[in-house]
Structure 1
Amino acid sequence: MKNEVTLIATATMGLEALVAKEVRALGYDNVKTENGKVEFTGPYSAIARTNLWLRTADRVKIKVAEFNAFSFDELFEKTKAAPWEEFLPENAEFPVTGRSVKSTLFSISDCQAIVKKAVVEKLKKTYHTDWFKENGALYKIEVALHKDIATLTIDTSGEGLHKRGYRPLHSRAPLKETLAAAMIMLTNWKPDKPFADPLCGSGTIPIEAALIGQNIAPGFNRKFAAEAWPWMPQNIWDEAREEAEASADYEQLLDIQGSDIDHNNVKLAEENAMEAGLFDVVSFKQMQVADFYSKGEYGCLVTNPPYGERLYDKKEVEALYKSMGQSFTEHLPTWSVYVITSHQDFEKLYGKKASKKRKLYNGNIKTDYYQFFGPRPPRRK
């Protein structure tokens, strides 16, 4: 059995470059970026390390095979030829999911059934049996067809990587932790500068900022599907967790505050910060945007306000955007401000043109990430 695997870190559209940068920072060089995914190779330890460390990826999958598939026969034969015996033990539970985009084989249920049958046929030869109980660890197989190219993968993550384990409770329109981390990583914030989110909801953005600021691995608080796989020795996971623990800088002092007009959200945010082990690191208070201020200078404000598409009345949202523009300009003149919203007239309502704009997806909502750069801090003598 070889000790190197090809992995795919899946990503929300628009975040591929960030995910690739994270993968390279972990020391994996053979990186290929495509729409919605970043492919790279590494030893088995890369499965543990990427699951623990990737802040902006959705999942990590093993790429088992990739080939052209124009007919069901071709899909069956090429799937059967793939090295499933390297990954699936005899008692593996291996459900098959699928998707098809711009491909001749468009029936997802048929593709799933054929892949399942082909894998069974391969394993029959390997294990010399006609019956598989599937009562062991979970190996979730996916067949993804895009422009007649079939990619077969096994999911190593289990639950999506946005499930950090610190947020059992959230507000009504939660921001995915992976997107919150991406929004912070797209700013000029450094841990020695103040950071704030004045519309913090259940606290996701301030908590992700604290994890980044103290270099805490985002997956430190959870388990992954591949931890139950017999061919992934426990010491690989132990070493990856030891590395994460040694890399964390718990002594790094941070000035991170979150606030919200709703006291229930503030309570939620405090509970989530406590769950993440960051209760003393991040501070939360009840406050409306118009009153938001900070004594700190040259800070970074990142926020995900309501968009007016759901939950809130459009007029209320537009009044909120005007209030944000006035408050931040008046109270935070040296700060850089970053706002994500799908509202087309945001700049007009905010009263200022963004220094830069970037397209991002919040779930299925197409949004713009407005970046207002503050003045450069004076050089230290």
Structure 2
Amino acid sequence: MPLQVTNVQQREHVFVPALPGLEPAVHAEAEALGFSSRPVDGGVELMGAPGLHQEANLRLRTASRVWLRLGRFTAADAGALSKGLAALPLGPVWDGRTVPRLSVVLHRARFKGPDAVLAAAARAWGLPSVERAGPLDEESSEGLTLLVRVEGDTCTVSADTSGEPMHRRGYRQEVSRAPLRETLAAGILVLAGYDGGEPLVDPMCGSGTFLIEGAWMSQRRAPGLGRAFAFERFPGFDAAAWSARKARAEAEALPSPRSAPRGYDINAGSLGTARRNARRAGVTLTLERQDVRTLAAPAGLGPGLVVVNPPYGKRVGEAEDLPGLYRAMGATFRRAFPGWRAAVLLPEDAGLVRALGLPEERNLPVRNGGLRCRLLLCPL
């Protein structure tokens, strides 16, 4: 295969990875935003006009990061790999002076580990050495990170345009027990069919992540407005065009959510954390201290979505207490929220599902902090 180059001056091809289980949410969100989206293993591929990588970083709520495709070529050996890497058009993303980091993925490749790829890259770019990137969930926003994926003898190279993972919106400077990633919270809301126009209640709200993400969705606020991205340090970055893009997104946002989310928690400290996080996010939440076991029906709210990330017995609480908590929670949902829908994130434990006692409409596998979980979507 000859070198196939993405000409970012005319058309962009990006890969948007997702947390395990959120691939359908990323695809649905991309389609709703008008992107040309194709589901693939681990995420979605987008095609579009120049600046697509900026728009994806700015607007996608459920994505983990955004990779800009630079080229694809055949590399049957280290020499061909080095030659292909040398021919890549790196000018728009690399100044040639700093040392890029490489994230290497090998699948049925002929190379003996990532070190062979790093050595080939150093030869290609005339560098003494090339640094291997650390875990991308912890990746700094400094410098350039390239993804080199070799599958068989096909090599695909992409540039990280996000920097810090996209779940770092900037508002959650405090967390309570068992925090939930912002991207996972947004993905669960998308999978549950939340559109921002209906009531949203979290009966165990913790640091308020579900509620803040729901408020931003209801407000149509782009999640990337308050943070910086790696593409802002690319040599070809157009600051004026980026400012105009952000201004358009800001103009589209509503001054307040269409339906104010409401949260409860038995822990007063968690409610304080949620209030402060919401203040940093620019939203106001209705928060009350109540126990999910005795939660009263929210007055004046019509049917909507009740969403919850209860204790799993691994990070918070004792495992032997969980069945009773889940039984009480299910009873509260049936009593206080008739006609609503429920989205419950819980560990892979058939006993807890039975204890919850809710009619399952969908049961989806997802991961939360590396733990295998199930997302139950239930009519009440």
TM-score scaled by length of structure 1: 0.87
Q: How far, CA to CA, are the matches of 1:338 and 1:274 in structure 2?
A: 25
Q: Deviations over 1:240-274 (max 9, x none)?
A: 11111111112444231112222111111111000
Q: How far, CA to CA, are the matches of 2:93 and 2:14 in structure 1?
A: 13
Q: How far, CA to CA, are the matches of 2:318 and 2:259 in structure 1?
A: 35
Q: How much does 1:22 deviate?
A: 2.6
Q: Could you tell me which amino acid in structure 2 is paired with residue 15 of structure 1?
A: L
Q: Equivalent residue for 2:84? A: 78
Q: Could you tell me which amino acid in structure 2 is paired with residue 72 of structure 1?
A: A
Is this contact kept in 2: 1:170–1:202, CA < 8 A?
A: yes
Distance 1:249 1:371, change over 3 A: same
Q: Equivalent residue for 1:28? A: 35
Q: Equivalent residue for 1:283? A: 286
Q: How much does 1:26 deviate?
A: 3.3
Q: How far, CA to CA, are the matches of 2:259 and 2:143 in structure 1?
A: 40
Q: How much does 1:14 deviate?
A: 2.4
2:97 equivalent to 1:94: no
Is this contact kept in 2: 1:340–1:369, CA < 8 A?
A: yes
Q: Could you tell me which amino acid in structure 2 is paired with residue 265 of structure 1?
A: S
**Identity fraction in percent:** 29
Q: How far, CA to CA, are the matches of 2:228 and 2:203 in structure 1?
A: 32
Q: How far, CA to CA, are the matches of 2:243 and 2:96 in structure 1?
A: 26
Q: Could you tell me which amino acid in structure 1 is paired with residue 247 of structure 2?
A: E
Larger displacement relative to structure 2 (241-250 or 308-317): 308-317
- Aligned-residue Cα RMSD (Å) equals 2.0
Q: How far, CA to CA, are the matches of 2:110 and 2:317 in structure 1?
A: 43
2:12 equivalent to 1:9: no
Q: Equivalent residue for 1:104? A: 110
2:199 equivalent to 1:194: yes
Unaligned runs of at least 5 residues, structure 1: 122-136, 375-381
2:47 equivalent to 1:41: yes
Is this contact kept in 2: 1:48–1:236, CA < 8 A?
A: no
Q: Deviations over 1:47-79 (max 9, x none)?
A: 221111000110011111223444322322222
Q: How much does 1:322 deviate?
A: 0.8
Is this contact kept in 2: 1:163–1:177, CA < 8 A?
A: yes
Q: Equivalent residue for 1:126? A: none
Q: Equivalent residue for 1:338? A: 343
TM-score scaled by length of structure 2: 0.87
Q: How far, CA to CA, are the matches of 2:199 and 2:42 in structure 1?
A: 32
Q: How far, CA to CA, are the matches of 1:259 and 1:266 in structure 2?
A: 8
Q: How far, CA to CA, are the matches of 1:102 and 1:302 in structure 2?
A: 41
Q: How much does 1:148 deviate?
A: 4.7
Is this contact kept in 1: 2:18–2:64, CA < 8 A?
A: yes
Q: How much does 1:347 deviate?
A: 2.5
Unaligned runs of at least 5 residues, structure 2: 1-6, 128-141
Q: How far, CA to CA, are the matches of 2:323 and 2:314 in structure 1?
A: 12
Q: Could you tell me which amino acid in structure 2 is paired with residue 77 of structure 1?
A: K
Q: How much does 1:305 deviate?
A: 0.9
Is this contact kept in 2: 1:13–1:361, CA < 8 A?
A: yes
Q: How much does 1:160 deviate?
A: 0.5
Q: How much does 1:151 deviate?
A: 2.2
Q: Equivalent residue for 2:147? A: 142
Distance 1:169 1:146, change over 3 A: farther
Q: How far, CA to CA, are the matches of 1:318 and 1:75 in structure 2?
A: 55
Q: How far, CA to CA, are the matches of 2:63 and 2:114 in structure 1?
A: 25
When the two structures are aligned, how many residues end up with a matched partner? Answer: 356
2:243 equivalent to 1:238: yes
